[in-house]
Structure 1
């Protein structure tokens, strides 16, 4: 599992380490977790935060840092770094997952789903189909005609959290040579998959990957999903306790 996180956001990393990030053996399967981050400033290793990150890495051995400016516009770079690293460092791994740092992740449900999943050419998550390209230049997701001329995006999985078989990273990296980059990273992965002629797979249940919590949430909700977006690291710590209680009761 690879979690994208800003260099300064140690609070989120520590919250994950105390919750779903400590799930390393689930249903007889080994689960590994790493945090993906770039640089705090371009070509500046003197930033005090860089020294703190180095010390954190030496303590936890779970940081993957690459040499690019860590910002929203560079999320596609971050994603391709992830795919390239996975393709070269995980030869005996069956599946990978990209997940954002503000997510609750039910690792047990994830592994249980993957026990029945295809081992090749497989990617699933919250699959988006028929999404219109946003041309409003005030939007966070603005896409100019010069970058992408089509009016509808190809199918893609929302970047909040998606899962894939480990034969895909190398193929996606190779496809990226032929696919013009766009800064919306999950859309770009969808463009690469379209170039490869690989279709996305819908999850076995549509409720497994959620963008947000329902208005009313029981504790048993957390045992029924794989991902849900949260508001803060503190909320994750609170929800993790509810989840652990619900595991025995729901």
Structure 2
């Protein structure tokens, strides 16, 4: 009897072991199946686009298709908000294209980041061939990147595919998943600051600079050699700016959005430079302040909330919001000015580089 019980118990134990072994084997096969068929198709594509890694040709093609499907799935009209002065920030935006190791590899003194429309490759190429090509001033390294949102035009699938190819060629594009439009410039600027805080905190300075601006990189770096390393933001500082209440104005702000008659001091958006301790502070402060779509004004509101004063440049002629008429002498002394055309940018740069005295 006892012998029979032992045999029965042993038989049951062996059955349990066999069942457990079968379950483990089945689970392993299932995991391998999922990894082989699903992960490379879906997960790897989105992850690769986010961190900006090169993948084998098969996976790269899948990544492109994934990105295009995500863009095409969104309605052409969905980027147009029903509330024209509402800014969807703070909000967690994700990176579609990224250069996470750019600052680590180049160890820049200053990072130049240009917000530009996804379709405006001509502006990016003009910058790459002019001031964006200047990588070294003395012993100070300069890095240049472009910040983009998602294209909103009917050709958005073609544009997105071209962007992926452009990114693979130049490795200088950062793209986030907000719609790229004028009313989203504040979002674009905050994503720039978030990127700097996350990927480039060990550089000394950064500059947000518009794509229609001529930049004298050497003069910029020379100004920063004696600039403060902390709580520093400079450019063309506007003080006691009047809030536009005319509904026909490009910069109209209703009282429901901002009820004061004057703005606090802010640096005009054509180009402003700041120390790299500020992005973290500005991102945190932006969570507490109602965002306005005029991005330079919003940063002024954040700086005022932080109690940090803006710094005027050492010379009032270094930054110009209106195009400066070209001559070698004058352009050899400025830092940034808007231009009338990309052709002007390129021609002015080439002329400034030719041998001979400036003045």
Shift of 1:227: 0.2
Partner residue, 1:21: 132
Contact 1:136–1:142 (CA under 8 A) maintained in structure 2: yes
| Cα distance in 1, alignment partners of residues 225 and 320 from structure 2 | 21
Q: Take 2:198 and 2:329, find their aligned partners in 1: how far apart are those partners? A: 39
Report the 3-state secondary structure (helix = DSSP H, G, I; strand = E; otherwise coil) of the residue aligned with 1:33: strand
Question: Where does structure 1 lack aligned partners over 5 or more consecutive residues?
Answer: none
Which is greater in Rg?
2
The TM-score normalised by the length of structure 2 is 0.67
Instruction: Work out whether residues 207 and 272 of structure 2, in 8 Å CA contact, stay in contact via their aligned partners in 1.
Output: yes
Cross-structure match for 2:281 = 171
Mapped contact 2:201–2:277 kept (Cα < 8 A): no
Larger RCO, structure (CA 8 Å, separation 6 or more): 1
* Partner SS, residue 113 of structure 1: helix
Question: C-alpha distance in 2, partners of 1:14/1:101?
Answer: 10
Task: Find out whether 1:88 has 2:195 as its counterpart.
Answer: no
Q: 1:163 to 1:80 in 2, by over 3 A?
A: same
Per the alignment, residue 339 of structure 2 pairs with 230
Contact 1:120–1:167 under 8 Å retained in 2: yes
Tell me what 1:5 maps to: 116
Runs of 4+ in 1 over 6 A off after TM superposition: none
- 1:247–1:78 distance in 2 versus 1, CA, 3 Å: farther
Q: Alpha-carbon deviations, 1:170-195, whole Å to 9, x = none?
A: 00000001010000000000000111
**SS in structure 2 at match of 1:31:** strand
2:41 matched to 1:41? no
Separation in 2, partners of 1:247, 1:72 = 41
Please show how residues 198-237 of structure 1 align to structure 2 within 5 Å: 198-214=308-324, 217-237=326-346
Q: Structure 2 residue aligned with 1:154, among 255, 259, 264?
A: 264
2:211 and 2:155 map into 1 onto residues whose CA distance is: 24
